[in-house]
């Protein structure tokens, strides 16, 4: 078995840890686009132009549609984006928390996407 191939990076976008990044999300019911779960999260683990990762206490459905309000910092307005839950796993076997990966599918506007791009580049510098 080729172990190098097993551990190759599959992401298209570089991820950045942004201190203070806060996210609130609404899991959407695709039949009615109404909210059936809402949770305010204190921090996201990382973000890229393709998605973000965070911790949650809730086990959520993979491929579930999700609406996001992302707060980069107190100085910036909230960024609205939509996506889907790409993956979810327990943080550890003993933990009741989950690590959650969200893949972006739509941005409210191009300025929001540019802001995320600039924040990621500034963190890499």
Residue 98 domain-assigned?
yes
CATH at residue 91: 2.40.10.220
pLDDT at 45: 81
pLDDT tens-place string over residues 76-99: 888 889 999 999 999 999 999 899
Tokens of 79: 């960024």
Query: How many domains are there within the chain?
Result: 1
Is there a contact between 69 and 24 (Cβ–Cβ < 8 Å)? yes
Residue 52 domain-assigned?
yes
DSSP string, 43-112: -EEEE-SSEEEEEESS---TT-EEEEEEE--TTSPPEEEEEEEEEEEESSTT-S-EEEEEEEEEES-HHH
Residue 106 domain-assigned?
yes
Query: What pTM did the predictor assign?
Result: 0.78
pLDDT at 3: 43
pLDDT tens-place string over residues 27-82: 887 665 555 556 666 578 889 999 999 888 888 889 989 888 898 888 888 888 99
Range of the domain at 25: 17-119
């Amino acid at each position: 078995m080729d172990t190098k191939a097993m551990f190759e990076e599959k992401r298209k976008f570089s991820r950045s840890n942004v201190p203070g990044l806060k996210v609130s999300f609404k899991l959407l019911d695709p039949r009615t686009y109404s909210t059936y779960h809402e949770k305010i999260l204190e921090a996201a683990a990382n973000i890229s132009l393709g998605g973000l990762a965070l911790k949650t206490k809730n086990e959520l459905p993979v491929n579930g549609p999700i609406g996001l309000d992302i707060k980069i910092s107190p100085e910036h307005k909230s960024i609205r984006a939509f996506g889907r839950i790409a993956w979810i796993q327990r943080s550890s076997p003993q933990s009741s928390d989950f690590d959650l990966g969200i893949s972006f599918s739509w941005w409210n506007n191009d300025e929001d996407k540019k802001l995320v791009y600039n924040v990621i580049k500034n963190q890499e510098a």
